[in-house]
Structure 1
Amino acid sequence: MRRADRLFQVIQILQSTGNVITAAMIADELEVSTRTIYRDIQDLMANRVPIRGEAGTGYILDKGYDLPPLMFNEEEIDAVMLGVHWVLSNGDPDIQRAARDVLGKIRSVLPKDRQELMQSARQVVPQPPQQAPIQISMPMIRRSIRERRKLEVVYRSLSGDISQRVICPMIVVFFQNIQLLVGWCELRRDYRNFRMDCFQQAVPLDRFFSRSDFESLDSYLKRSKESQQSEKSG
């Protein structure tokens, strides 16, 4: 790893942690010696990066510090390109357009050698099977999730039954050829997985919910994952 990349990652670790972290912990994450991290932090502090702390106690980065312009290392660029290619293969048209915009913005601020790494990335994301068409607006669904806004929906089950419900949308889950919306269903008074291609209609309401009201969501997702793994192993 280039030293410039390592210094950048030290700042990233300090910024993402938000609390006091020791040089040994940073060294373990970056797979270098503690002595190397001590030198790096001293150099960063000498260059006016607002790091507070001392050896043996730990370090913390002052809030409000902005990282310098994007300086992705090779692995980070590969990760970005893999994610963008996956979205381009699996996302709806609006999120695909957003992914292409992200690439353009990243290219515009990267140094030339980093841009060349983006162009030379060699990772292939297989094209998924043909997905059933989704009739409702995915940008609206994502916006409702971010705003924690309830939705009034008309839903047609795979057996053909049609129901009208109010749901609290939580997350969208991507599978190979379908997308699921996980949410709290007021009709069933429980969490439900809704196939996105089965929605006939979805209208945002002027009613909101709090994520703290659904602290059991993580438990539900864990149970669902365990159930899927059990079905595969069986």
Structure 2
Amino acid sequence: MSRTQRLLDLLQQLRAYRYPVTAQTLAQTLNISVRTLYRDIASLQQQGANITGEAGLGYVLKPGFMLPPLMFSEDEIEALVLGSRWVAERADHHLGLAARTALQKIAAVLPSDLRLSLDTNALLVGPDENKPDFDTALPLLRTAIRQEHKVHLQYADAKGKHSKRVVWPFALGFFEHVRVLVAWCELRQEIRHFRTDRIHAFEVYPERYPQRRQALLKIWREQEGIPESSI
């Protein structure tokens, strides 16, 4: 285990305790010596971590501290790289570009050993030969969701039947070959799902819909039996 990873793990352990925890407990959890633990505590304190306490009494990390170069473990870096590569290959152009830019910003604050892990990451996303073109609709629909604006859709169902709907968009699902807009439909007076490849035309209204997006998401999750997101 690298020293950077060890310091990150120590920070995570300290955050798990509301009250002082002894050096012996921390050292045993991290599988290091107490002497190494004392050195690591001192290193974190020198870098700005508000860790109070002393040998024999225990240590506690005051809330509010986050050291940017130590934010991610190696597994977390792999997850970020894989997720960013998937978005870059599967999402619209604007979101794909944002994923690449975000990864560059993360790389800029990583220490050298973790930067190497990011640069040499071997988790790859294969090309999608059947990827449809969502570039026109998705950025505008994502903006409508963020701003909680109503949208007028011209939509065709699976049987090709056309209809016009005014909806309150609050989520967008990304599947392998399909994107699904989740919205409250004023026509049906219920939450409905709309495949974006069946939207023939749409207009984002300047009017905001009357219910908060978080409330609509909660209703939808309860209806679908989907647990609350942990992030």
Q: State if a TM-score over 0.5 links the two structures.
A: yes
1:210 paired residue among 209, 212, 217: 212
Q: What number of residue pairs does the alignment pair up?
A: 217
The AA in structure 1 aligned to 2:63 is D
The AA in structure 2 aligned to 1:222 is G
Q: Is the 8 A contact 1:191 1:220 kept in 2?
A: no
The AA in structure 2 aligned to 1:165 is R
Q: Residue 183 of structure 2 corresponds to which residue in structure 1?
A: 183
* SS of corresponding position for 1:219: helix
Q: Is the 8 A contact 1:136 1:201 kept in 2?
A: no
Instruction: Provide the alpha-carbon RMSD of the alignment.
Output: 3.8
After TM superposition, the score normalised by the length of structure 2 is: 0.73
Q: Matched residues in 1 for 2:75 and 2:18: separation?
A: 27
* SS of corresponding position for 1:158: coil
Q: Matched residues in 2 for 1:110 and 1:186: separation?
A: 48
Q: Residue 225 of structure 2 corresponds to which residue in structure 1?
A: 222
Q: Matched residues in 1 for 2:5 and 2:184: separation?
A: 43
Q: CA deviation at 1:7?
A: 2.5
The 3 A distance-change label for structure 1 pair 13 and 198 is farther
1:22-41 correspondence to structure 2 within 5 Å: 32=30
The 3 A distance-change label for structure 1 pair 62 and 125 is same
Q: CA deviation at 1:196?
A: 0.9
Q: Residue 87 of structure 1 corresponds to which residue in structure 2?
A: 87
Q: Matched residues in 2 for 1:116 and 1:198: separation?
A: 43
Q: Matched residues in 1 for 2:92 and 2:45: separation?
A: 47
The AA in structure 2 aligned to 1:217 is W
Q: Matched residues in 2 for 1:168 and 1:35: separation?
A: 57
The 3 A distance-change label for structure 1 pair 212 and 94 is closer
Q: Matched residues in 2 for 1:34 and 1:169: separation?
A: 51
Q: CA deviation at 1:50?
A: 2.7
Q: CA deviation at 1:9?
A: 4.2
* SS of corresponding position for 1:123: coil
The 3 A distance-change label for structure 1 pair 56 and 35 is farther
1:158-190, Cα deviation, whole Å (9 max, x unpaired): 212222212121221122211111121121111
Q: Is the 8 A contact 1:136 1:200 kept in 2?
A: no
- Choose 54-63 or 180-189, whichever is displaced more: 54-63
Q: CA deviation at 1:46?
A: 4.0
Q: What runs of 5+ residues in structure 2 fail to find an aligned partner?
A: 227-231
The 3 A distance-change label for structure 1 pair 165 and 20 is farther
After TM superposition, the score normalised by the length of structure 1 is: 0.72
User: Percent same amino acid among aligned pairs?
Assistant: 28
The 3 A distance-change label for structure 1 pair 45 and 2 is closer
Q: Matched residues in 2 for 1:5 and 1:213: separation?
A: 39
Q: Residue 155 of structure 1 corresponds to which residue in structure 2?
A: 155
* SS of corresponding position for 2:225: helix
- Choose 108-117 or 158-167, whichever is displaced more: 108-117
The 3 A distance-change label for structure 1 pair 145 and 56 is farther
